[in-house]
A = this chain, B = another copy of it.
Amino acid sequence: MSSAAELSGPESEPGHPADRPYPSGIPEATVARLPVYLRALYTLAERGVSTVASDELARAAGVNSAKLRKDLSHLGSYGIRGVGYDVEYLVYQVSRALGLTQNWPVVIVGAGNLGRALAHYGGFVTRGFRIEAVLDTDPFLVGGNVSGVAVRHVNELETIVTSKNIAIGVIAVPVGAAQGVCDRLVAAGVTSILNFAPLVLNVPEGVDVRKVDLSIELQILAFHAQRRSAARYEQAPDQAAAEA
């Protein structure tokens, strides 16, 4: 979201995939699903599966197979007709498309429950990311250790971001502190931000922000839940009333 549209850029003429790392025109909706495919592929690989057809992979990823094939076709033609996809090779291609062949250093700001949960989550994030630092202001936390990473004071934010060349920052601080932390991250050179604080961050052009927001997700669920019960009521008002 946010600056995603601009980043997709003008459609470059197709036909020379060798010029650039990638044909440059992978649709946003596809990008958002690639990580899901990647996870499914890892699961298959762990089970020792070496080849997979689009139906099966699609089922594991919770999408239909036409969508999966169309998505993968944006990365290139990596399947074998009549057979399927080589799991290991596809893992590599999807990883490469997502930019996970390099190891992105990440800073997590906020060592509260959420920050710690994210750090522990590390197990999953491993491939492609490493937590370079966890920052907080609380003197009880600073100097401590979260999931093997030392907690340092937010004062050091600029030094750390600069010296470690950090491009990705995670904001896990209370809402009141979030914009300030964001500004500092951006000023220090961070261009990708994952925001867990419930507010719309203000960032300059060229900075990519994604947000994760519990209350938004709950509210979307409530909407559907409400519609479900309303629908039930219309079909059989008496029964629905009895249930309630």
Contacts and interface: CB of A to CB of B under 8 A. Distances in A.
Nearest to A24: B227
A160 interface: no
A180 interface: no
A97 B220 CA distance: 10
A75 to B, nearest CB: 11
Contacts of A239: none
B36 A216 contact: yes
A81 interface: no
B117 A220 contact: no
In this complex, the interface size class of chain A, counting residues with CB under 8 Å from chain B, is: 35 or more
A177 to B, nearest CB: 15
Contacts of A216: 32, 35-36
B20 A230 contact: yes
Q: Considering residues A60, A61, A167, which has the most beta carbons from chain B within 10 angstroms of its beta carbon? A: A167
Q: Which 7 A-B pairs have the closest CB atoms?
A: A99-B226, A113-B117, A114-B117, A35-B219, A192-B221, A35-B216, A62-B200
